[in-house]
Amino acid sequence: MPTPVIPPRLSTVPAARAAGLAGLLTAEAIFGIVLFVGAFGLFFYLTRVVFREHSQVFDDWGFAQMDRLRAARPWTRAVVDFLTFFGSVKFFVPASLLVPFMLRRRGYGRYAAELLLSMGGGVVLNELLKFYFHRDRPTTALIYQYGLSFPSGHAMLSMCFYGCLAWLAVQHGRHWGAAIALIFFALLIGLTRVYLHVHYPTDVVAGFAGGAVWLVLLRTGIRLFCKEKLVPGEEATVTE
């Protein structure tokens, strides 16, 4: 009786990982398209509301909510002063150099470069938009703040910095909790600018929208010009 020929066993692990990566890329592409269209549409809508219709409804409502909070709970001012620092130039300049340096030292050179590009491009884009729209800051500001108002630099750069870190946390280890916390922290920083009256609410929302648009464009560029490779022990990383 002839011995049956048993075909060599094919490892299912690489196939499973490849399928997982394909699903991730598809989900990321869909999410990126939705985020880009939504954020770009929101930014465009706000420019019409502010510069064409000259509506103050949303801005007045936002200021009123923050004024009510400040009057009811005066202790929130100290919290706001603390939180707003983490969206300032004094924080972002060293953080945008130190964090990529630490990532590079730990072997995540691509992540370091991505964060640097996110912040560098965010700064340039924010300054160009401010120069183009040239909106003055509110005259009711509680503290002095130089520069123009639309879109908010605190909000936009917070989205670029913390939003990029949130994406890297999900990409590297599916740390969804950390990613959500980072985004929430960025949103809080934006609210501090309304609380202090140094930005109109529309400035802050536009800043978040502009930062989200830039992050999607940056991520798209990385996908187009860099290869994806599966590495043992990780879900997916980007090749150098």
Q: Give me the residue spans of the domains in the chain.
A: 23-238
Q: Which two tokens stand for residue 3?
A: 């011995």
How far is Cα 166 from Cα 183, in angstroms, rounded to an integer? 7
On the question of pLDDT at 233 being above 70, the answer is no
Global pTM? 0.81
Q: Average of pLDDT values for 207-213?
A: 96
Q: What is the pLDDT of residues 59-94, one digit of tens each?
A: 999 999 999 999 999 999 999 999 999 999 999 999
Separation in Å, CA 219 to CA 13, 20, 42, 153, 158: 27, 19, 20, 21, 17
33 band by pLDDT with thresholds 50, 70 and 90: confident
Q: Is the pLDDT of residue 167 over 60?
A: yes
Q: Name the nearest CA neighbour of 147 among 159, 156, 160, 138.
A: 138
Q: At which residue do the structure tokens 């992540």 appear?
A: 111
**Alpha carbon distances (Å) from 49 to 54, 61, 79, 140, 141:** 6, 14, 31, 21, 22
Closest-CA residue to 199 (of 63, 6, 43) = 63
Q: Which residues touch 221 (CB under 8 Å, ≥6 apart)?
A: none
pLDDT at 42 (0 to 100): 95
**Quick check: 24 pLDDT over 90?**
no
Q: Of 108, 233, 230, 239, which Cα lies nearest the Cα of 169?
A: 108
pLDDT digits (tens, 9 = 90+) for 196-205: 999 999 999 9
Q: How far apart are CA 216 and CA 163, in angstroms?
A: 10
